[in-house]
Amino acid sequence: HKASSSITRFPLIPVRGVPLMNYIANNWDSIWAFRPDPSDLLIATYPKAGTTWTQEIVDLLLHNGDAEACKRAPTPVRSPFLEIVSPPPIPSGLDLLEKMDPPRVIKTHLPFQLVPPGFWENKCKSIYVARNAKDNLVSYYYFDLMNQTQPEPGPFGGYIHKFMQGELSWGSWYDHVKGYWLEREKRNILYLFYEDMKENPRREVERIMKYLDLSVSDEVVSQIVELTSFKNMKENPMANYSCVPSPVFDQSISPFMRKGEVGDWKNHFTAEQSKLFDEDYEKQMKDVDIPFRTLI
């Protein structure tokens, strides 16, 4: 396909200090002006923290565990990505949202301070999913290798430095997890951890259910846990991003559903890199106490 072969890795342009893909930065005013409906739900994450997993759980909860209903379309169509803008003819997140009736489940990777203020003015519910920095970094590294719209990750050692310095697309992981953490009570944000979801998915599915004021049977909760296992989502064409053409997401380099584990960072960081990262982490995170776990 000619159009897709013109896909190139997009440069990043800062928006209020946060590096974003040029297409997003150039469309910033309309993203910032987005007015959600009070019934809309926001799912916010730093990239690769468990967004797709959470989107699938939420969609299944909203459809009482109906697997077929949740195969009506691929994830980004069922649950649009607020700020994404791609070259035409691919519809932007805002284009998709405009054609959908609320209540909508909206994905964003924007840090708290860049979320359109309409979400808070309308008191929309929002779920934030955080993942420990080291696993998040490793997952993002593989994603940047395969996603041909993101900047080249370069060698892993250098990538660690870019991560620590907040130079990756969507900016600093440290600022991101802190931004939502500090606002979670005031804004009624459900703050979840990827590691908790891995440890006890049933408990976390039930937390999401209660937050959304839904009540599904115990049997349906079990079904949702099963349908959203890593293995099942990896095999589900409506959840595994096989919808994105291979010149854009080259899943032969690394599959979107790559590993789905806690602690994979141990296979990638050398002892020296880990030490350096931990020392910097202490400094960057000294003002908050967010209970991250790098192993479970």
SS3 category, 164? helix
Number of residues counted as binding ligand A3P (CB under 6 A): 19
Taking CB under 6 A as the rule, does residue 249 contact ligand A3P?
no
* Choice among 109, 161, 176, 268 that is catalytic: 109
Q: How far is the CB of 258 from ligand A3P (least distance, A)?
A: 3
Our CB check for ligand A3P shows the closer of 118 and 293 to be 293
Between 94 and 233, name the residue whose CB sits nearer to ligand A3P. 233
Residue 178 CA to residue 169 CA, distance in Å, equals 17
118 versus 232: smaller Cβ distance to ligand A3P: 232
Closest CA to 144 of 129, 132, 128, 162: 162
263 binds ligand A3P per the rule CB under 6 A: no
148 lines the binding site for ligand A3P (CB under 6 A): no
Specify the residue for token string 């310095």. 165
Among 257, 265, 269, 292, binds ligand A3P (CB under 6 A): 257
Q: Are 232 and 130 in contact (CB under 8 A)?
A: no
Determine the Cα–Cα distance for residues 200 and 225; give it in Å rounded to an integer: 10
Return the residue of 7, 15, 42, 49 that touches ligand A3P, per CB under 6 A.
49
| Residue (of 228, 233, 204, 205) closest to 217 by Cα position | 205
Q: How far is the CB of 239 from ligand A3P (least distance, A)?
A: 7
Told to check if 169 binds ligand A3P by CB under 6 A, we report no
Asked whether position 268 contacts ligand A3P by CB under 6 A, the answer is no
Q: For residue 7, which of 224, 195, 245 has the smallest C-alpha distance?
A: 245
- CA-CA distance, 178 to 137, in Å (whole number)? 16
Whether 63 is a known active-site residue: answer no
What does the H/E/C string look like for 53-83?
Answer: HHHHHHHHHHCCCCCCHHHCCCHHHHCCECC
Q: Does 259 bind ligand A3P (CB under 6 A)?
A: yes
| 53 near ligand A3P, judged by CB under 6 A | yes
Peptide bond into 74 cis (omega under 30): no
**What b/e string do you get for 108-139 counting C-beta neighbours within 10 Å, with b at 16 or more?**
bbbbbebbbebbbeeebbbbbbbbbbbbbbbb
Q: Which is nearer to ligand A3P, 27 or 51 (CB)?
A: 51
Task: Candidates 45, 132, 169, 172: give the one binding ligand A3P (CB under 6 A).
Answer: 45
Tell whether residue 52 is a contact of ligand A3P (CB under 6 A). Answer: yes
Can residue 111 be called a binding residue for ligand A3P (CB under 6 A)?
Answer: no
Q: Where are the beta strands (DSSP E) in the chain?
A: 12-15, 18-21, 41-45, 105-108, 125-130, 189-193
When asked if residue 163 is in the footprint of ligand A3P (CB under 6 A), the reply is no
Closer residue to ligand A3P (CB): 48 or 178? 48
The closest alpha carbon to 294, from 140, 85, 132, belongs to: 132
Query: In the structure encoding, which two tokens stand for residue 239, read together?
Result: 């959840």
Q: Which residue, 39 or 150, has its beta carbon nearer to ligand A3P?
A: 150
**Shortest reach from residue 287's CB to ligand A3P, in Å:** 25
* Active-site annotation, residues: 109
Where does this chain bind ligand A3P (CB under 6 A)? 45, 47-53, 139, 142, 228-230, 233, 257-260, 264
